[in-house]
Amino acid sequence: MIDRIGRRTVGLIQAVGRWGQFMADMVRALPDVTTWGRLALVQMRRVGVDSLPVALFIAAFTGVVLALQASYTFTGTVPLYFVGTLVGKTMMLELGPVLAGLALAGRVGASMAAELGTMKVTEQVDALETLAYDPQSFLVVPRVLAGTVMFPIVVALAVFVGIMTGWMTSLWLLNLSTPEFVKGLRQFYQFKDTWFGLFKSATFGFTITTVGCVVGLSTRGGAEGVGRSTTRAVVYSAVAILVLDAFWAAVLLR
């Protein structure tokens, strides 16, 4: 029992140490712009543009459901223009960033872990090093940068689409007029709602891509190892998003 606890504690300390080393290596690779600059643009397209369909699809239906649930809850007790308030606030503060983050943890995090894991087990990472490239500059920095920059953009568009579908639902299914919906939307709006959601999204993007890279580059054991890494990246990213979500709410919304 004590032996097991000891081993787990040592394992945890080693994992934290490896994570710290990884972050330090990433910072050290930042000045190598000639290596990661061009690659970052490619990753921005893959992480950002290619993720848009899934993020917007989720946001569109979330907007519809939010409007209908708000109307169901408010009917008879609260003025219905609060549907606009609830759709706007919830999309900006919570569901836009978190749902897009969870969806992209599956899409982006898994694909990065699988790609880098495959490169690791087929010695492509070793090949990079023998060609005098730093894998951090070549593989990690472009991906993490792309995630951190593009996630807020993807989430901003998702929030916009969610609010639009919420508005259309209110208009066509709830008999709410556009001025009423907009009144509710503006009623409790603060600029903080916008930057909080976008800032949170940037931290989600950073976390998902970093986890994908760390897990991918520590892959061992052929195809089975790549499979394990892929699953691990999705699970770790999803957990990290939920923990970060609570953390930022506690730190920034109190």
Question: Residues in the site for other proteins, rule: CB under 8 A?
Answer: 35, 119, 122-124, 126-127, 129-134
DSSP category for residue 218: T
Q: Of the two residues 10 and 173, which places its CB atom closer to other proteins in the complex?
A: 10
Of 49 and 127, nearer to other proteins (C-beta) is 127
Q: Which is closer to other proteins, CB of 28 or CB of 186? A: 28
CA distance 223 to 228: 9
Least gap, CB of 222 to other proteins (angstroms): 12
Q: How far is the CB of 116 from other proteins (least distance, A)?
A: 12
Minimum CB distance to other proteins, residue 106 (Å): 22
Minimum CB distance to other proteins smaller for 129 or for 224: 129
Nearer to other proteins, 122 or 178 (CB): 122
What is the full DSSP assignment across 86-136? HHHHHIIIIIHHHHHHHHHIIIIIHHHHHHHHHHHHTTHHHHHHHTT--HI
Contacts of 100 (CB under 8 A, 6+ apart): 55, 58, 59, 151, 154, 155, 158, 201
Residue type, 96: G
| Closest distance of CB 36 from other proteins, Å | 13
Kindly tell me which of 2 and 132 has the beta carbon lying closer to other proteins: 132
Minimum distance, C-beta of residue 43 to other proteins, in the bound complex (Å): 12
In angstroms, rounded to a whole number, what is the distance separating the alpha carbons of residues 11 and 23? 18
Which of 153, 122, 141, 154 is closest to 213 using CA atoms? 141
d(CA 58, CA 108): 15
Amino acid letter at 212?
Answer: G
Look at residue 139 and give its three-state secondary structure: helix
* Shortest distance (Å) from residue 215 CB to other proteins: 20
